[in-house]
Amino acid sequence: MFVCVFTAVRTGNLAKFNQVLDQFGEKFQADGTYTLIIRLRHNVIKTGYVQSKETMDIYGTREPQLAFHQRISFCLDIHNMSVKAMRFPPKAYNKDLESAEERREREQQDLEFAKEMAEDDDDSFP
């Protein structure tokens, strides 16, 4: 009789628990354990609820798919940003910079201008 109560509580089967209570109720009252058995009814309901909650297939929902999509999107964004960071600067960037030949010409003109200025300074002093 207690084995039947135990299995009903372990499985969370409320129908079987009520059946055992109807079948052995008089014996439980004679033993003085009827109120204890009645208090176990709450545990039967709780066990049944926990078991029904655990049997839900998480992969049947969209939650794993959305989490996987979010991770993949993050990885692809990082990849795209790193590829953009490794690119060479655009051609328009090079237009602003002077070439080596233009730089040499400018430096040569600066030197000539400095020489002329030095000669002018030397000529102005007696």
CA-CA-CA-CA torsion sign (4, 7, 12, 13): negative
3-state secondary structure of 64: helix
pLDDT at 95: 64
Write down the pLDDT at residue 41.
82
**Inter-CA distances, 61 with 48, 55, 65, Å:** 22, 13, 8
Low-confidence ranges of the chain (pLDDT < 70): 49-56, 89-98, 121-126
Q: Note the pLDDT tens digit of each residue in 66-78.
A: 999 999 999 999 9
What does the alpha-carbon distance between residue 98 and residue 108 come to, in Å, rounded to a whole number? Answer: 15
pLDDT at 17: 84
State the Cα–Cα distance between residues 28 and 36, nearest whole angstrom.
Answer: 9
- CA angle (106, 112, 113) in 5-degree steps: 85
- Give me the pLDDT at residue 75, please: 96
Has this prediction a pTM greater than 0.85?
no
CB 31 within 8 A of CB 2: no
pLDDT at 78: 96
